[in-house]
Amino acid sequence: MVASYFFEIDDYPLSIDPFISTDFNFKIISDFLYYRLKDEINCKIVNLDKNIIEIRLFDYFLERNIYSENFVKCFHRHIHEKTPYFKYLIFIEKVVVVSQDAFRLYTRTSLDFFKEVFQSHFIIPVTFLGKPIKKGEFIKNQDGFKIISEDKTYNFLVNKSCENTIGFLKEGNLDLTAFSHPNELLLTDCSNNSYLFDRYKLESVRGSLVYYLKFFNQQFGEYFEEIRKLLHEEIKNNPFLIPVSDFLGSESKNRIIKTPNKRSSVLGTVKIGYSNYFPNKKIAVALQKVLLKRYAVSSVIVEFDNLQLLIENMNNVDIVLSITFPVIDNLNILLLDILPDVSSELQKQILKDFQLGNFTKIASYTSFTRSMLPIFCSQYYYFKKLERRIEVSSFGEIIIDDD
């Protein structure tokens, strides 16, 4: 019998191509679409030496005619085509086939989270021609999309309306609400509907989404730390937003900030752009207040219906509220994402400390970059059906243990 699951998600992935797509919704669904390495479950990842790692495939892959060469070709494609994920593989010197069920990676350095890189959603088996080998079939429908695999069907209901979510819960069909889409009604209206708790359980976990501001006007640079502090004061005790002081998600502490004596020299009206996902508007409005009250800078808010439209119109705004996330299950990987926005000297220092594992030291000088200011980290809240053994990881993986 084919098992069916019903999940809510706030939007479609921008793409389902693992060599192109870098958005969070793709990461959420990728495990249902493609095969990936899982240490001690479908493979064994062994450190033969500090710079040599061997991956031995279990019968799970061999029975599906997936061999070491299929994974090696994936690494080669990322490296040769310099895909968006290439930067996470820059420490790899070469990848070679050892046997039908084993391959080795030779690295330029030793990092603690190499295992997490190799088990990430963008390392998948591909055919001889480099085409991804699918685990499930992606089918769009009227309400969203579904992914059909060997013995399971995963139905994804695309919805951004908080009110509609409550309606879906009342109908009792959902197995899991959209965890990455903050929904205040889950914490207010639902608490007054005790009958929901006969079928659902409210769960919470710290997320890995990092909200940051991207400034295209360099004149704001000297005010970054003060702007962040004022934003944290403007948005207090929000259950979905954790104030942070750097890209590694360090929680913000009440510390004295050096504030410039002069006010901003920015002239004219500033445009603040964001995509229409909660709580982006709340953050944009708070920023608008801060700019006006503290710096006498007027601004207008420009809302884009989805992430794709925001990306296409980046050049038409002065400040963008955006989100980043670690593509592997380790926040430290975000350091590679900010490298292009720091000086060449700091790039060398970050890479040096990155290789040495000095992440506490790195955090101290990644409080902000030339144009990016991290401000909040996410906190996920979601309802899951009591009869289902489902949970959500901090890094956005839906874990199902119903077997």
Q: Report which of residues 201 and 193 the model is more confident about.
A: 201
Both structure tokens of 79: 């490296």
Query: Could you tell me the pTM of the whole model?
Result: 0.90
The distance in angstroms from the start CA to the end CA of the chain is 12
Give the per-residue pLDDT at 362.
Answer: 75
State the Cα–Cα distance between residues 358 and 97, nearest whole angstrom. Answer: 33
Residue 258 pLDDT level (bands cut at 50, 70, 90): low
Asked if residue 211 and residue 177 are part of one domain, the reply reads no
Region 228-235: mean pLDDT is 95
Region 40-69: mean pLDDT is 95
Instruction: Give the number of C-alpha atoms closer than 13 A to the C-alpha of residue 359, restricted to the C-beta side.
Output: 16
In terms of Cα–Cα distance, which of 7, 2, 16 is closest to 124?
16
In terms of Cα–Cα distance, which of 70, 64, 61 is closest to 43?
61
What CATH number is given to the structural domain containing 222? 3.10.105.10
Give the per-residue pLDDT at 350.
Answer: 82
Asked if residue 346 and residue 213 are part of one domain, the reply reads yes
Best mean pLDDT range from 4-13, 103-112, 196-205, 215-224: 4-13
Which range among 59-73, 77-91, 150-164, 361-375 shows the weakest confidence by mean pLDDT? 361-375
Q: How many domains does the chain have?
A: 3
Q: Given 119, 150, 167, which residue is the final one in a domain?
A: 119
Q: Quote the distance between the C-alpha of residue 64 and its chain's center.
A: 30
Asked if residue 249 and residue 231 are part of one domain, the reply reads yes
Give the per-residue pLDDT at 389.
Answer: 92
- 190 pLDDT exceeds 90? no
| Residue given tokens 């508007």 in the structure block | 281
- 357 pLDDT exceeds 80? no
On average, the pLDDT of the chain sits at: 89
Give the per-residue pLDDT at 286.
Answer: 96
Region 149-163: mean pLDDT is 92
> Which residue range(s) make up the domain with 196?
3-15+135-206+380-400
Tell me if 142 is assigned to some domain: yes
What CATH number is given to the structural domain containing 51? 3.90.76.10
Tell me if 313 is assigned to some domain: yes
Tell me if 24 is assigned to some domain: no
Asked if residue 316 and residue 246 are part of one domain, the reply reads yes
Give the per-residue pLDDT at 261.
Answer: 57
State the Cα–Cα distance between residues 72 and 106, nearest whole angstrom. Answer: 12
